[in-house]
Amino acid sequence: MINLKPYCLLALILLSQGAFSEETVTQTPQNVKSLQSLLEQVKTDGLKEKSISQSREKEFSNSRDAQKKLLAQAVKELKRTKDTTNQLKKSFDSNEEELAKQEEELRKRSGNLGEMFGVVRQVSQDMAAIRENSLLALELGSQSETLNTLADSKALPSIKELEALWYELQLQMTKQGETKRFDGEYINASGTKVKELIAHIGPFVAITSNGYLHYDTETRQLLELSKQPAQASLIPEFFDSEAMFSPLYIDPTRGVLLSLSSQNPSVLDRIKQGGLIGYIILTLAFLGLVYACILLILMLKTHVKVKAQLKDVDSVKLDNPLGRILSVYETQNGKVDVETLEMKLDEAVLKELPSLEKGLSLIKLLAAVAPLLGLLGTVTGMITTFQSITLFGTGDPKLMAGGISQALITTVLGLVAAIPLLFMHNIVSSRSRELVQILDQQSAGLIAEKAQKGTS
């Protein structure tokens, strides 16, 4: 019996080698029926694998030769690139040195030109701002393309651009010296747009027959001032005059002073700032002055009558204090002695004093009360100010302005009321003392005359 184990082992080894190879080995046909056929099949497969291996080795050898050629070409290309790089680097370094030399030369030669560029740019910016906010923008326009271009330029200006700048400057100077009248529109104090003859004196002021106008740079419109200054009284004469020169006030600040003057409060505005206490002070001052004037008029009438009585002592009139004292003397002269007559005359003088001194104490009281009321207004105004500070802090001064205004205005009103009242009190009291002195002198003279007659 044939031992098949060695042949089986050989077949397994050959099959395992075929399985681990890179090529797929053809599986053993199913029709192999004998070991001899299997052996021949294995032999055939082995020859095929050898042929394939030889083909792969040849292909690998050819590929290796091609890679060697490519590597050689890459090395040559790398060397050529390095040479080109070195050459370009030398050229770059050389150009950098040349550029630095040229820049230094340019800096030296364009030193004055650089300064001129800065001046041109600054002048253009300033002139553009002046033109935009100037009254002349109504005629020339608020923007200039030339000025805006030069103001934003980052290069040296050309000769043509410098000539354009010169023209803009000359145009501005020429228009600033012109006085022009034209039909234009403006917004009056009530907010209505009005078309009327407008005159402008350079960039300083614009006027109409009603007064000064203010140029609003935001809306590009002329606005009538809500409050005209006192100098506006010359404007009608300016419009009516046909002479070459006519007096007129202008604003050298180009509208700033006019705007500030229109915001200044008037006398009535100041009085309103005083509040209730301010009105009380003014009322008392008015009543006190009227009363003092009435007393002064009465004193003057009495003084005139007394002077007339002094000139004609023989004709006694009872419409004046001296006449009434003389009537007492005539009535009591022959009936009583000197001492009794003296007491009668003193009594008559004392009766006249209340009418001569009437109202003086009231005027003096009002003169003393007015400053006290002003002080009261000052205290209340400061209380209001401190309340505003407590609520809103000190960040916005306008919140404190009302209380401070009341504090100051009431003090001023109190002093304004007290000063004329004091003057009037002094005048009326001096007239009263003068009349009393006349009465005392005349009564003393009458007593002396009576005593002299009694001793003679």
* Cβ contact 380:244 at 8 Å: no
Q: Is residue 21 part of a domain?
A: no
Reported confidence tier of residue 291, pLDDT bands at 50, 70, 90: very high
DSSP assignment, residue 26?
Answer: P
Number of domains in the chain: 3
How far is the C-alpha of 455 from the C-alpha of 452, rounded, in Å?
5
Q: Is residue 126 part of a domain?
A: yes
- For residues 222 and 128, membership in a common domain is answered with yes
DSSP helix/strand/coil, 315: coil
Helices (H), strands (E): how many in the chain? 14, 5
DSSP helix/strand/coil, 134: coil
pLDDT at 289: 92
Last residue of a domain, one of 100, 127, 142: 100
Reported confidence tier of residue 38, pLDDT bands at 50, 70, 90: confident
Q: Across residues 80-98, what is the average pLDDT?
A: 91
Q: Is residue 285 part of a domain?
A: yes
State yes or no: pLDDT of 7 exceeds 50.
Answer: no
- For residues 326 and 207, membership in a common domain is answered with no
Q: Is residue 4 part of a domain?
A: no
pLDDT at 22: 41
Beta bridge partners of residue 205, listed in sequence order: 201
Domain that holds residue 423: 273-455
How far is the C-alpha of 271 from the C-alpha of 265, rounded, in Å?
10
DSSP helix/strand/coil, 215: strand
Reported confidence tier of residue 406, pLDDT bands at 50, 70, 90: confident
How far is the C-alpha of 76 from the C-alpha of 83, rounded, in Å?
11
How far is the C-alpha of 150 from the C-alpha of 146, rounded, in Å?
6
DSSP helix/strand/coil, 206: strand
Q: Is residue 94 part of a domain?
A: yes
- Over pLDDT 90: what percentage of the chain? 9
- For residues 147 and 84, membership in a common domain is answered with no
What are the b/e assignments for 55-85, b being 16+ CB within 10 Å? eeeeeeeeeeeeeeeeeeeeeeeeeeeeeee
pLDDT at 288: 92
- For residues 333 and 393, membership in a common domain is answered with yes
- For residues 333 and 421, membership in a common domain is answered with yes
pLDDT at 141: 78
pLDDT at 14: 46
pTM summary value: 0.50
Q: Is residue 63 part of a domain?
A: yes
Reported confidence tier of residue 293, pLDDT bands at 50, 70, 90: very high
pLDDT at 186: 85
- For residues 255 and 281, membership in a common domain is answered with no
Q: CA dist 163 to 1, 71, 146, Å?
A: 128, 69, 10
- Per-residue pLDDT reduced to its tens digit, 97-148: 999 888 888 777 666 666 777 888 888 888 888 888 887 887 787 788 888 8
- For residues 214 and 319, membership in a common domain is answered with no
Last residue of a domain, one of 262, 283, 313: 262
* Cβ contact 178:139 at 8 Å: no
How far is the C-alpha of 146 from the C-alpha of 152, rounded, in Å?
10
Reported confidence tier of residue 234, pLDDT bands at 50, 70, 90: confident
State yes or no: pLDDT of 18 exceeds 50.
Answer: no
State yes or no: pLDDT of 24 exceeds 60.
Answer: no
* Cβ contact 258:229 at 8 Å: yes
Q: Across residues 208-231, what is the average pLDDT?
A: 80
414 contacts: CB under 8 Å, gap ≥ 6: 281, 370, 371, 372, 373, 374, 375, 377
- Per-residue pLDDT reduced to its tens digit, 238-257: 877 777 777 887 777 777 77
DSSP helix/strand/coil, 209: coil
State yes or no: pLDDT of 436 exceeds 80.
Answer: yes
Token pair 């003193």 is at which residue? Answer: 346
29 contacts: CB under 8 Å, gap ≥ 6: 41
How far is the C-alpha of 248 from the C-alpha of 236, rounded, in Å?
10
Last residue of a domain, one of 216, 242, 262: 262
How far is the C-alpha of 338 from the C-alpha of 447, rounded, in Å?
7
How far is the C-alpha of 412 from the C-alpha of 278, rounded, in Å?
9
The mean pLDDT value of the chain amounts to 79
DSSP assignment, residue 247?
Answer: -
- Per-residue pLDDT reduced to its tens digit, 366-378: 999 998 998 888 8
Q: Is residue 236 part of a domain?
A: yes
How far is the C-alpha of 236 from the C-alpha of 224, rounded, in Å?
16
Query: Is the pLDDT higher at 428 or at 451?
Result: 428
DSSP helix/strand/coil, 242: coil
- For residue 326, the tally of other CB atoms under 10 A from its CB is 23
- Per-residue pLDDT reduced to its tens digit, 317-363: 777 787 788 787 777 776 777 788 778 878 888 888 888 888 888 98
- For residues 95 and 122, membership in a common domain is answered with no
- For residues 377 and 253, membership in a common domain is answered with no
CA angle 208, 214, 218 (to 5 degrees): 135
List the single range of 61-75, 144-158, 309-323 with lowest mean pLDDT: 309-323
pLDDT at 241: 76
Q: Angle, nearest 10°, between helix axes 321-332 and 338-356?
A: 160
- For residues 349 and 256, membership in a common domain is answered with no
Reported confidence tier of residue 27, pLDDT bands at 50, 70, 90: very low
- For residues 325 and 251, membership in a common domain is answered with no
pLDDT at 419: 92
Q: Is residue 277 part of a domain?
A: yes
Reported confidence tier of residue 401, pLDDT bands at 50, 70, 90: low
Which range scores top for mean pLDDT: 14-23, 24-33, 108-117, 295-304?
295-304
CA terminus-to-terminus distance, the chain:
217
- For residues 359 and 434, membership in a common domain is answered with yes
Provide φ and ψ at 32, rounded to 5°.
-70, 120
pLDDT at 88: 92
Reported confidence tier of residue 199, pLDDT bands at 50, 70, 90: confident
Q: Angle, nearest 10°, between helix axes 398-455 and 321-332?
A: 20
Q: Across residues 406-427, what is the average pLDDT?
A: 88
